[in-house]
């Protein structure tokens, strides 16, 4: 995958992930998770810069993984991205529980599995903006760096 596709996939995936994650965690589920993190002092307002940075890093990882996986369609890309997201966040939540006691087991599990939604949406956005044309034309994504001119 060339640098342009990596950048476009990362940006589009981050925007998609950020929009869905904001609605889920900062609007719909804020009360639920505040009850699950009893030992953590909540910030007066979320640090949006760090939230955006987290989405960019996650979308970069997804763009790389999806370019390796070469999904056959947007549904497969969304599914693969959702699986990656769940595994990453379950691991991070369990680590934080074991190290800092940040949330309850219920909160860690719910958070980990709900992560499938923004990650899946990001995977769909990444596929739609960077891989769809390659697959429709029949070219393999891995060969776009080779130029025989």
pLDDT in tens, 26-65: 788 878 877 777 676 666 677 889 989 999 999 999 999 9
State both tokens at 84: 């990656």
Query: Which among 64, 98, 54 is positioned nearest to 84, based on CA atoms?
Result: 64
Q: Work out the angle between the directed axes of helices 116-126 and 48-69 (0-180°, nearest 10).
A: 60
pTM, rounded to two decimals = 0.81
Give the residues of the chain that fall short of pLDDT 70: 1, 38, 40-44, 133-149
pLDDT at 92: 92
**CB-based burial, 16-36: b 16+ in 10 Å, e otherwise:** bbbebbbebbeeeeeeebeeb
């Amino acid at each position: 995958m060339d640098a342009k596709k990596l950048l476009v996939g990362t940006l589009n995936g981050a925007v998609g992930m950020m929009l869905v994650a904001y609605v889920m965690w900062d609007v719909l589920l804020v009360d639920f998770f505040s009850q699950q993190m009893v030992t953590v002092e909540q910030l007066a307002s979320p640090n949006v810069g760090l939230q955006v940075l987290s989405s960019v890093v996650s979308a970069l990882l997804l763009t790389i993984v999806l370019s390796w996986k070469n999904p056959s369609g947007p549904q497969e890309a969304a599914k693969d991205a959702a699986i990656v997201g769940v595994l990453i966040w379950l691991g991070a939540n369990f680590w934080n529980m074991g190290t800092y006691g940040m949330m309850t087991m219920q909160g860690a599990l719910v958070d980990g599995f709900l992560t499938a939604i923004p990650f899946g949406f990001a995977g769909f956005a990444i596929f739609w903006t960077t891989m769809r044309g390659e697959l429709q034309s029949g070219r393999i994504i891995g060969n776009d760096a080779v130029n025989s001119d």
